[in-house]
Structure 1
Amino acid sequence: MKNLFKKLGQCSKIKLFAFGVLAIAFAACFFVDMGSGIGMLAAAPIITLAKKDSRMSAEEEEFLNKIEGPLNEAFDNFSKGFITEERLQGIIEKSMTDFINKNKDKMPADDLKKSLDDMQETVKTVVKEIQKMKDGGITLGNGSMIEKAIDEIIDNPKMVDFINSKSRTTGKIPFNIKGIVSLENNYEGNLLTTQQTGRVIVDVNERRINVRDLMTVDQGDPEFTSIAYAKIIDLDRNAVAVSENGRLPESAFKMKEETANIARIGTHVNISKRLLKSRPYLRSFLINRLPKWVRMAEDFQILFGDGTGDNLLGIVGQSNDISKWLTAVVAKGEAGSVESVESYNKGEQTMITFSKPFDKIEEGMLIKFTGAPEVTSGTASKLNSENMMHKHNDRKIMINVPYADIVPQSAGKLSESEIAALKFEVKNNFFNTVEDPNYGDAINAVIAVLTYGEFTPNVVALNPSDVFMIQTLKDTSGRSLDLITGIDGTKRISGRVIVETTIVPPGYYFIGDMANAAALVDYTSLFIEFAEDIESKLTNQVTVIAQEEVLMPVYNPFAFAYGKLDDVLAAITKKKD
């Protein structure tokens, strides 16, 4: 192709004029037909018509300078497949006719015919060589969303000035990949000096799903470098039924202000400046690689950041380990925590009032008292056994135990000193209740505990190895348990979609309400910047910087659960007698 355009530069002046007219007609036809939806890419000239050592008149040189750009753009558009060879030939024939009509009175017929024959031959050679390049796969692709995203970077005036050494840095160039469905390579070739395939071979693939893909992502306000929100730490929901003129009890709550600060996440890499001229390479490298490296570090911060130094305060450090929650005491009352023990529903049940609120107690949990006196000699009070409770409010519960089975028969009630001496512990009722549980039961228990707390877990994230393990579980006769179901590649467990991801390590689970209980805030969205200094200039390298700034408030840590599947399995296993 280089030799071809060198040949064009040696044409006579009249042939260059004719070729210029052809180029203008070509470009005009292209713009008229394609203007509805296809934008032209700015390209450097591939041929210079007005030579400094030519004997052209000022008028001729000015004319050639004007048509030089359209000429180069016309062949570039044909090489990219915007029009077919047949359409190009039609445009050429029309341009020839226009040229003859314009110049038939200015040139002898023989000279005009020879010039046109030479021009036709030259144009046919151009078309043939470009078609040969297209057949060989050398093309810039089909204008996908990915290509448009990276083209915005490469064609940015800041980038053009940088490549042409007019500036030392590109400054911040926005990197917008919203709407891109696939990040796979889709170009068919490149324009390097040697022909290559349109694929970059790597041994390690990047993570397909990032934590931010599962979260609510908001745009931050650049005027504020932190987010403050109120967190309620104590509740006293003390509502009861009263008479028409009865006094309503007081409820209360305590709160404190929490703050989420900015974390800057990014990386940089040095590359040869020559690679900046290769669009296909930059597409693959910048779109498929560098941003994903930033996202991988972001994943770690969102889940496992410890909140110290420059780290985010991650979700895992604030979440529940369900195995510990299943075995731990939910609430504990020391002596003096019980205010009254009264008969309820004509003595069929017992109402217990606490002297302070216990907001972590939930409906259906198990409560066990100590220190209750015997009903009769040798007959223990049923207060000293585990009983399921019904929650009235944060200060009052009811148990399904007849009042006569918990108080001394002789006195018919508990004295003030006996009530003041009562202690209790509250546990959930999932603990040690499942015979021969499997991993499906363990995950169901985690979901049940979160749902029990009135949360709505919408993300069940498991390592692919654990998904495979659960899918292959069988009963004693060798039949599949079918704990995981799926249609069209979407896998579900307990009716919830499973997110298979390496973000969660093997043997662990991450389950929670990612839509409502936490949010990721893009204070500065991910951007790419090209820069150089004296040192990089000496080695003909540039530095590519990818970075972002994010905040992450976790509004309700109790809506998340993270831990080992085996620990949950052990916690829910019913003990053998």
Structure 2
Amino acid sequence: MALDDTKTAEQMAAEVKADFASKFDAVKAIAEDALGKAAKGEELANGIKEKADEALTEMNGLKASLDELEQKLARGGQAGEEGCKTFGERFTESEEFKSFAANPRKGDSASVNFEAELKADLTTTTGGAGGMGAAVHSTHIPGIMPLPQRRMTVRNLLMPGRTDGPLIDFDRETGFANNADMVAEGDLKPQSDITVEEVQTRTKVIAHWMRASKQTLSDVAQIRSIIDNRLLYGLGFKEEQQLLYGDNTGENLHGIVPQATAYSAPIAVGSETSIDKVRLMALQATLAEYPSTGIVMHPSDWAFIELLKDSEGRYIIGNPQGSLAPTLWGLPVVTTQAMQIDKVLVGAFDMGAQIFDQWSARIETGFQNDDFTRNKVTVLAEERLALAVYRPESFIYGDFGRVA
């Protein structure tokens, strides 16, 4: 079948497909007629065989034409053309673009996929005909590579709590005169005294926000989750600093360190090392009737302790191949950069202090000022909490003495 140069490949492909289907039906009818006669024992006339050969020949010719047209369509070319139309021409002639151009509406778009042709026809050389080196872009890894984040650990040591009000009142024992003694029959029994002070603390708000355009939040799905995570991380970062060092002025929490008891060795030990000091601090808390449950120090100080060696060069507690959680004297060691270097805090974290959450950390979005008219969205993160230190004697704070 000769191809008509005046028709497009799509039009001719449709016509050839229709002719092919007709010839296929004709061949099928001849075959069914022949099979029916054979089943009845009738002899086939010579004309039937000739008719079948003729129909098969025409069908095969149409198949070859159809294959040629499909190849042209795959290349995006026109039948009879020496070259293919440009991508721009094919795009502007596409039905999708014509529909869009005839009735452009907000949010509509038109697109034509040329991926197969680009892969087949474009080269990446910088010189010579067909060179596309200047148009080749580097591979973009999806998503945003986040900054490193500190692991928050101090909160997990403390007793959790909830509150529905802004004020936390509790009674704290400040003294106990224990005069219990043996008493003879009829004698006056001794009196013991306990001194209690009423302490009040209130919940404080930690908050910050970011502003982003609605387009950015819509165009990059990961942006919203990154903003949320960064905002929540910022709350935790500030919270950990406040739990340890908040000075109780203004809107600061009253942290553990400002209320902790200063280290004073309860017993004398010769040539006191960093490991010895931690043990003596735990003993000081135990003598205050609050056995220690944790140790907090800077990562550099923990690394120093792990690297201590004996006279033969063997690690005292460190094990380069070990994978166990860091412990010292049976107590978990929590390392955080929120703790000042060369400082150490030992105490009964699960009994001596408690966190009260009034607002758990949360994310909110809304419009601020002229955000709405500028297509901006304000994303806010905040939490509201209080810290109650019940027994300052249960926390011992001191330094290793390696930094002047």
TM range (shorter): 0.5 to 0.7
Using the TM superposition, give the Cα deviation of residue 542 of structure 1 relative to its aligned residue in structure 2, in angstroms: 1.4
Q: Which residue of 1 aligns with 2:155?
A: 212
Letter in 1 for 2:341: P
Letter in 2 for 1:240: D
Q: Which residue of 1 aligns with 2:289?
A: 454
Q: For each residue in 1:288-313, what CA deviation from the matched residue of structure 2 results, as whole angstroms up to 9, or x when unmatched?
A: x1101011111122111111111111
C-alpha distance in 2 between matches for 1:534 and 1:312 = 31
Contact 2:293 2:331 in 1 (8 A): yes
Within 5 Å, give how 1:149-548 maps onto structure 2: 197-202=141-146, 204-221=147-164, 224-277=165-218, 278-287=220-229, 289-322=230-263, 325-326=264-265, 428=266, 430=267, 433-482=268-317, 488-548=323-383
Distance 1:452 1:236, change over 3 A: closer
Contact 2:244 2:339 in 1 (8 A): no
Q: Which residue of 2 aligns with 1:191?
A: none
C-alpha distance in 1 between matches for 2:398 and 2:370 = 48
Q: Match of 2:388, SS?
A: coil
Contact 2:154 2:334 in 1 (8 A): no
C-alpha distance in 2 between matches for 1:219 and 1:485 = 42
Letter in 1 for 2:288: G
C-alpha distance in 2 between matches for 1:290 and 1:539 = 22
C-alpha distance in 1 between matches for 2:175 and 2:308 = 43
Q: CA RMSD in A?
A: 3.1
Q: Number of residue pairs matched?
A: 273
Letter in 2 for 1:252: D
Distance 1:214 1:274, change over 3 A: farther
Q: Which residue of 2 aligns with 1:125?
A: none
Contact 1:483 1:493 in 2 (8 A): no
C-alpha distance in 2 between matches for 1:489 and 1:529 = 39
Q: Match of 1:547, SS?
A: strand
Distance 1:242 1:286, change over 3 A: same
Using the TM superposition, give the Cα deviation of residue 519 of structure 1 relative to its aligned residue in structure 2, in angstroms: 0.6
Letter in 1 for 2:156: D
Using the TM superposition, give the Cα deviation of residue 508 of structure 1 relative to its aligned residue in structure 2, in angstroms: 1.1
Letter in 2 for 1:450: A
Contact 2:354 2:389 in 1 (8 A): yes
Using the TM superposition, give the Cα deviation of residue 196 of structure 1 relative to its aligned residue in structure 2, in angstroms: 5.6
Distance 1:242 1:483, change over 3 A: farther
C-alpha distance in 2 between matches for 1:534 and 1:483 = 57
Within 5 Å, give how 1:41-56 maps onto structure 2: none
Contact 2:347 2:395 in 1 (8 A): yes
Q: Which residue of 2 aligns with 1:395?
A: none
Distance 1:484 1:254, change over 3 A: farther
Q: For each residue in 1:103-126, what CA deviation from the matched residue of structure 2 results, as whole angstroms up to 9, or x when unmatched?
A: xxxxxxxxxxxxxxxxxxxxxxxx
Q: Which residue of 2 aligns with 1:8?
A: none
C-alpha distance in 1 between matches for 2:283 and 2:321 = 21
Distance 1:506 1:534, change over 3 A: closer
Q: Match of 1:478, SS?
A: coil
Q: For each residue in 1:345-379, what CA deviation from the matched residue of structure 2 results, as whole angstroms up to 9, or x when unmatched?
A: xxxxxxxxxxxxxxxxxxxxxxxxxxxxxxxxxxx
Give 1:552's match in structure 2, choosing from 374, 387, 394: 387
Letter in 2 for 1:297: K
Letter in 1 for 2:163: G
Q: Which residue of 1 aligns with 2:131?
A: none
Contact 1:485 1:491 in 2 (8 A): no
Letter in 2 for 1:521: F
State TM-score, norm by structure 2. Answer: 0.61
Distance 1:275 1:563, change over 3 A: farther
Structure ID, larger Rg: 2
Q: Match of 2:217, SS?
A: helix
Q: Match of 1:260, SS?
A: strand
C-alpha distance in 2 between matches for 1:225 and 1:505 = 30
Using the TM superposition, give the Cα deviation of residue 486 of structure 1 relative to its aligned residue in structure 2, in angstroms: 9.2
Q: Which runs of 5+ in 2 are unaligned?
A: 1-98, 100-115, 117-138
Q: Match of 2:370, SS?
A: helix
C-alpha distance in 1 between matches for 2:161 and 2:235 = 18
C-alpha distance in 1 between matches for 2:320 and 2:181 = 45
State TM-score, norm by structure 1. Answer: 0.44
Contact 1:484 1:491 in 2 (8 A): no
Percent of aligned pairs sharing the same letter:
25
Using the TM superposition, give the Cα deviation of residue 490 of structure 1 relative to its aligned residue in structure 2, in angstroms: 0.8
Distance 1:484 1:246, change over 3 A: farther
C-alpha distance in 2 between matches for 1:282 and 1:489 = 36
Distance 1:478 1:486, change over 3 A: closer
Using the TM superposition, give the Cα deviation of residue 434 of structure 1 relative to its aligned residue in structure 2, in angstroms: 2.3
C-alpha distance in 2 between matches for 1:312 and 1:201 = 33
Contact 1:531 1:543 in 2 (8 A): yes
Distance 1:239 1:486, change over 3 A: farther
Q: Match of 1:259, SS?
A: strand
Q: Match of 2:352, SS?
A: coil
Letter in 1 for 2:389: V
Give 1:561's match in structure 2, choosing from 386, 396, 401: 396
Distance 1:444 1:485, change over 3 A: farther
C-alpha distance in 1 between matches for 2:142 and 2:290 = 48
C-alpha distance in 2 between matches for 1:518 and 1:534 = 41
Q: Match of 2:150, SS?
A: coil
Within 5 Å, give how 1:54-133 maps onto structure 2: none
Task: Say which is worse superposed, 534-543 or 207-216, in terms of deviation.
Answer: 534-543
